[in-house]
């Protein structure tokens, strides 16, 4: 530790310092980073909409799979950030470095398994989701993304290593470069090279490849990160593997569950409406993803702040961080809701600018004008869920997500859309009601969890005295 004092690294010093300042330092670059990530899907949708509504629906059916791949990477990244920040809080550099290389090796193995499964079962999955007449479009887009699964998963996992040491800035730089590259390549591959949906997928993978190369350059050539994920630092440790996976796997399953929800919701929309309703939902949800990015960024930053303070047994600081993060995220939620509601027609015009896509405009505007109701509730729901990830309680966080998405949100959607026969509008209201109920439950749950940690610490201290 003599030549690598923790104080020499701004990110590490930040997550162990004032939790309010740490949240802002982590959140701002994460807002930009996640906003850029959201642009991948939006940029594809903007260009693909020029190919027609069926092509847009085809991309919509692949979206849950793409979300699942990002979810696996983000989940492993969350597991890594949670474990590594706790090791840093314990001031265990050797264990931190070993944990970083564990993350990469685990990610590679999971990526290989995931790619194999997708290549074998992709068409069956898409047909089961109701792709129907759009199956050829969906396969054109989906098969290429499946081949490049490792690029999607690995990049998001590597971000977790950087977040674990409190370095959110460099993830922002890499993703900014990747996004600009994607913006440039999309029209070239889709239209200039006449590759259609295949071109959109290829452009996305090239952009993701660039991100991975940049990240590996920082870790293995420039070598200026606090954590050193080198093979020379690797020594198999069952405890480290469990620490990463006990948050990483549930977090991945959380996001895969979100993808499952999107698939089931699309199937529901086909049942009560048409494939146009799927195009509306998948396209508008990209706008929702961008609008809610600030809340998710604050929640993601909270993992490292909570993890570091948990490792240092500074539980009171966790309570401060949680309550402060909720205030910030709720404010962002109200601002996002106001902007989307006011400018919904202008936002929709970006997607429905040509061909058969223009017929979707009224439905897209209606969806966006309604869905903003739930934005502020995500502010306190997401931050509360991520508290549990930061303290290593990944199973609890996963249960909360499944409760929100699969049980209540989908349950309300089926009740309103099918049983009460309100159609696709009923399905939209199902999302709002499910989010409102479970986000409120999660907020109360997280607050009680932190207070329990503080109480246990005080009892331990008093018993020693």
The pLDDT tens digits for 135-160 are: 888 898 899 999 999 998 999 889 88
In the predicted structure, residue 3 carries a pLDDT above the cut 50: no
Indicate whether 9 pLDDT > 70.
Answer: no
Return the HEC string of 376-388. HHHHHHHHHHHHH
pLDDT digits over 375-392, tens only? 999 999 999 999 998 888
Mean pLDDT of 39-61: 74
> Which parts of 217-346 are beta strand (E)?
none
Whether pLDDT at 335 is above 50? yes
pTM of the model: 0.73
Are 342 and 392 spatial neighbours (Cβ–Cβ below 8 Å)?
no
Nearest by Cα to 30 from 77, 93, 85, 89: 77
Helix axes 149-164, 169-187, angle to 10 degrees: 160
Note down the domain range covering 308. Answer: 10-464
197 pLDDT band, cuts 50/70/90, is confident
* Lookup: tokens for 90: 């314990």
Closest of 447, 163, 439 to residue 298, by C-alpha: 163
pLDDT above 80 for 44 = no
Residue 180 and residue 140 in contact, taking contact as beta carbons nearer than 8 Å: no
What is the pLDDT, as a whole number, of residue 465?
60
R_g of the chain, CA atoms, integer Å: 22
User: Quick count: other Cβ atoms within 10 Å of Cβ 349?
Assistant: 14
pLDDT score of 51: 79
Tokens read off for 50:
């020029």
Average pLDDT, the chain: 85
pLDDT above 50: residue 189: yes
Q: What is the pLDDT of residue 6?
A: 41
How far apart, in Å, are the Cα atoms of 417 and each of 29, 64, 258, 407, 430? 39, 21, 19, 15, 8
- pLDDT, tens digit (0-9, with 9 covering 90-100), for 336-379: 999 999 999 888 887 654 444 577 788 889 989 999 999 999 99
Query: What average pLDDT does this structure show over 261-269?
Result: 84
Sign of CA dihedral 108, 79, 100, 29: positive
Burial grade of 66 (CB within 10 A; 0-12, 13-18, 19 or more): buried
Distance CA 412, CA 404 (A): 11
The percent of residues above 90 in pLDDT, for the chain, comes to 38
Q: What is the mean pLDDT of residues 66-87?
A: 86
Q: What is the pLDDT of residue 312?
A: 81
CA–CA dist 264, 276 (Å, integer): 16
**140 neighbors 198 (Cβ within 8 angstroms):** yes
Instruction: Please give the structure tokens belonging to residue 1.
Output: 């530790």
Read off the pLDDT of residues 96-138 as tens digits, 9 standing for 90 and up: 999 999 999 999 999 999 999 999 999 998 888 778 888 888 8
CA 269 – CA 249 distance, rounded (Å): 29
Q: Select from 289, 323, 306, 263 the least CA-distant residue to 443.
A: 323
pLDDT for position 275: 75
1 lies in a domain? Answer: no
- pLDDT for position 233: 93
In the 8-state DSSP scheme, what is residue 352? S
Summarised one tens digit per residue, pLDDT across range 272-314 is: 887 778 878 877 888 888 899 899 889 988 988 888 888 888 8
What is the length of the chain? 465
Residue 26 pLDDT level (bands cut at 50, 70, 90): confident
SS3 state at 72: helix
Domains contained in the chain, number:
1
Compute the distance between CA of residue 155 and CA of residue 210 in angstroms, rounded to an integer.
10
Decide if 15 is inside a domain: yes
Q: Give the span between the Cα atoms of 394 and 77, in whole angstroms.
A: 13
């Amino acid at each position: 530790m003599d030549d690598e004092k923790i104080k020499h690294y701004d990110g590490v010093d930040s997550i162990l310092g004032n939790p309010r300042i740490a949240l802002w330092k982590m959140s701002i670059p994460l807002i930009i980073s996640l906003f850029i990530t959201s642009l991948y899907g939006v940029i594809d949708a903007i260009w693909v909409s020029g190919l027609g509504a069926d092509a847009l629906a085809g991309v919509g059916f692949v979206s849950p799979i793409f979300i699942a791949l990002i979810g696996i990477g983000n989940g492993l990244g969350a597991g890594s950030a949670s474990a590594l920040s706790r090791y840093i809080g314990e001031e265990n550099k050797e264990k931190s470095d070993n944990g970083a290389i564990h993350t990469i090796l685990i990610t590679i193995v999971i990526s290989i398994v995931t790619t194999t499964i997708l290549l074998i079962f992709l068409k069956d999955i898409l047909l089961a989701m109701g792709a129907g007449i759009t199956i050829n479009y969906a396969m054109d887009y989906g098969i290429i993304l499946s081949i490049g699964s490792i690029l999607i998963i690995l990049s998001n996992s590597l971000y977790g290593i950087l977040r674990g040491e409190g370095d959110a800035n460099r993830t922002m730089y890499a993703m900014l470069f990747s996004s600009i590259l994607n913006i440039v390549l999309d029209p070239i591959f889709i239209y200039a090279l006449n590759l259609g949906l295949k071109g959109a997928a290829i452009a996305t993978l090239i952009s993701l490849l660039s991100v991975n190369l940049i990240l590996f350059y920082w870790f293995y050539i420039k070598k200026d990160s606090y954590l050193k994920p080198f093979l020379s630092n690797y020594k198999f440790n069952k405890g480290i593997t469990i620490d990463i996976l006990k948050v990483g796997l549930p977090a991945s399953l959380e996001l895969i569950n979100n993808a499952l929800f999107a698939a089931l919701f699309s199937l529901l929309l086909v049942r009560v409406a048409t494939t146009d309703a799927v195009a509306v939902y998948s396209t508008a949800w990209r706008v929702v993803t961008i609008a809610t990015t600030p809340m998710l960024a604050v929640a993601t930053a909270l993992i490292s702040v909570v993890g570091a303070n948990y490792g240092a047994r500074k539980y009171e600081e966790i309570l401060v961080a949680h309550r402060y993060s909720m205030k910030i995220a709720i404010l962002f939620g109200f601002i996002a809701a106001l902007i989307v509601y006011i400018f919904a027609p202008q936002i929709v015009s970006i997607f429905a600018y040509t061909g058969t896509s223009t017929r979707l405009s009224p439905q897209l505007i209606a969806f966006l004008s309604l869905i903003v109701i739930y934005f502020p509730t995500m502010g306190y729901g997401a931050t509360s869920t991520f508290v549990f990830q930061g303290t290593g309680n990944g199973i609890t966080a996963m249960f909360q997500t499944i409760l929100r998405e699969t049980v209540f949100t989908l349950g309300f959607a089926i009740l309103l859309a099918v049983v009460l026969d309100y159609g696709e509008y009923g399905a939209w209201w199902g999302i709002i009601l499910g989010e409102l109920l479970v986000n409120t439950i999660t907020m109360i749950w997280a607050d009680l969890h932190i207070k329990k940690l503080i109480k246990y610490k005080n009892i331990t201290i008093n018993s020693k005295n």
